[in-house]
Structure 1
Amino acid sequence: MAAMTLLASPLHAEEEERGERSRGARVPTLPQYQAECSACHVAFPAGGLPAASWARLMQNLPQHFGTDASLDPATTRQISQWLQANAASGRRAQDTPPEDRITRTQWFVREHHHEISSTTWQRAAIGKPSNCAACHTGAPQGRFSEHDVRIPR
């Protein structure tokens, strides 16, 4: 479940600081979402994508970025409802990235690509921009603070 695993709110720290996030503090991660999605990758925060992107991703689990991430209907429904309820809000809700990839959202590009060279992404310990846990030490727990970034050599 590669792009699914969005744990909820560290992506929203910048918005929270400006008072733009109406939901307030971190949204507790749905246990089924954490279990299913983090089986393959970090559970990305639900607020990292708009509701429409999550809907498309959940509808296409048999072809989830080249992997069959199919789930039983009840689990799919439960995760889908949670993602819809906790999807991006405000300006981020208008940002529908190419291929519904978090790494292609305006926010991600602004936060990462001006600071990180293309050669850094290619390091064996990182591999690709969606490998959040390579640099964000708290990513498995849903924490993406800049204070916890350790870029591997």
Structure 2
Amino acid sequence: MPIANAPLTLPAGMRSTRASQAVLALFAARPDAVVSEADVERSLQAQGIAVNRVTVYRLLNKLHAAGLLQRSVDADRIARYMPSGADAGGQAPRFECDGCHQQFRLAGHQARLQTALRALRQELQAAGHEELRLDLAVRGRCAGCVQTPDAMHAAS
């Protein structure tokens, strides 16, 4: 779950560019967003910000390394990014559609979800495991793909 009302700011030492500010604004405006590099690149281009793919990858990786973004890799090996949460370990469970490959944070019953994730982490720690990173994804078909089984719906 995103940190409520906490604006994303660039980590110390990272240059403030038009692109970096636009990426921070993208995640601030859509705190539940789960987006790929291509989604970010399209968003920047729609705003008239000319960047190449490598620049976007580097920017996303720096924001991830600074702990501002969480990264996951979907079934098609596409890295997707979302704002880091304030929950246990900063991990947000998500749903990944097998049809359109769109991802959604699991928003309902956050307290119960986070309790379950903490219990899982504690169980693994009790078994002697360390440096745990939870990356929980539920896979299936989203409501849009279920309603239109013959055609993939466009990811928004």
TM-based fold match above 0.5: no
Provide the TM-score with structure 1 as the length reference: 0.31
Provide the TM-score with structure 2 as the length reference: 0.31
Structure of greater Rg: 2
- The structure with higher relative contact order (CA 8 Å, sep 6+) is 1
Which is helix-richer, 1 or 2? 1
Which is strand-richer, 1 or 2? 2
